[in-house]
Chains A and B, each alone.
Chain A
Amino acid sequence: MIFENEVELTNYKYEITYDDEIIKHEGYWISHKKLLEILPLIKFAEKFKNKVELDIQSLIEAIIPEKYKVCEYITKYLEKYMTLKELLKVEIFGDIDDNRLYHYIRIIPIFESSEKSLDISEELENNIYESPLSNRILVFSIFK
């Protein structure tokens, strides 16, 4: 049960009451398959637990083509920024419009307020869009 091991690696607490397909997370029943699609993000949040905040429910709800690859792309891309002191926190969540027509993964990097942070944020935002996997990614930097 690779998945069970993966879950144990994370800080996200799942009630292990599932039978193969469905598990319960914070009161919601979630398909195992849908959770696996965002597994790279879950592992990423575990690795950088002081800096990364995920909204798992909205991430699962967001319908994104090649979702696993997109999540993997996000984690590989963001990794090099995570140790920078200018980057205080990263929030990642599923962003779906009211009509539920447009689905994105929204990344909110929160930076300290400085000129250097501004340059880093621009680099982060501009380069992430070089991959076609970024079609459904939106980045929205904020300065504290």
Chain B
Amino acid sequence: MNTNPTSKSNFNPEEFKNLAMYLKENKNSIHNPSQISIECINRVIAGRLYYSVFLILRETIIRGLSNYSNCPKEISNFINALLVGSVHNTLLRFIEKLRDNDNLNQNPELNTAIRQIYNSLDYLKGHRVAADYELLIPTSVKTNRGYEKIKFEDDIVIAKLERKYDNIIKSLSKLEEILRKNKNDICEILREFR
């Protein structure tokens, strides 16, 4: 599987994952109780894992859509929305539209993969936002109902985020297949995309 969607001249977002793993493996030597806590290191890892997979997903989608010729205006507008503004929500909403489309979800395997991508990205995003913005320890991930307490200093949280990252990477080829085989339906989704 190609997890290196950018060209040689572009930054490879997989490096963010590599950095996260470096931090994880060298945590004890980086850790300095008076300056850099385990909490801090794990928060950085959470953020880098999310951004790595967010950028990989975005590049995969942009690359998949670049082969389309039947709705150039919609593709251009959508790619712009992926690059500027509420880019994180735009990506999640697009995956949601793929998942909910009646024509696209005829293949159970692909549909399951899309649901897993959505849930994994939602999970990583929730932790990334908490890692960067919520200063309380233990901190909280915001849901639409309220807050759920999580402990970044607990390594199990990072292990879980890694699993979510891996789930998305494993499902990338399914996403590519959906983008490749459903051009008309995806153009229709983009025409109605807000």
Q: Is the CB of B144 within 8 A of A140?
A: no
Give the number of chain A interface residues (Cβ < 8 Å). 31
Q: Is the CB of A132 within 8 A of B149?
A: no
Select one of B99, B119, B159 contacting A139, CB under 8 A: B119
Is chain A's interface secondary structure helix, strand, loop, or mixed overall? mixed
Q: Which of B116, B141, B145 has the most CB of A within 10 A?
A: B145
Is chain B's interface secondary structure helix, strand, loop, or mixed overall? helix
Select one of A94, A122, A143 contacting B163, CB under 8 A: A122
Chain B contacts for A23, CB-based, 8 A: none
Q: Is the CB of B119 within 8 A of A138?
A: yes
Chain A contacts for B111, CB-based, 8 A: 132
Q: Is the CB of A106 within 8 A of B156?
A: no
Known A113-B154, A132-B105: A140·B148 in contact at CB below 8 Å: yes
- The residue of chain B having its C-beta at the shortest distance from the C-beta of A130 within the complex is B112
Shortest C-beta distance, A114 to chain B (Å), equals 7
Judge if B160 is at the interface, Cβ distance under 8 Å: yes
Sampled A-B contacts (14; CB under 8 Å): A58-B145, A95-B143, A106-B143, A113-B154, A118-B160, A121-B160, A122-B160, A122-B163, A125-B116, A129-B119, A140-B122, A140-B126, A142-B148, A143-B157
Spell out A's residues near B (CB within 8 Å).
55, 58, 93-98, 102, 106, 108, 113-115, 117-118, 121-122, 125-126, 129-130, 132, 134-135, 138-143
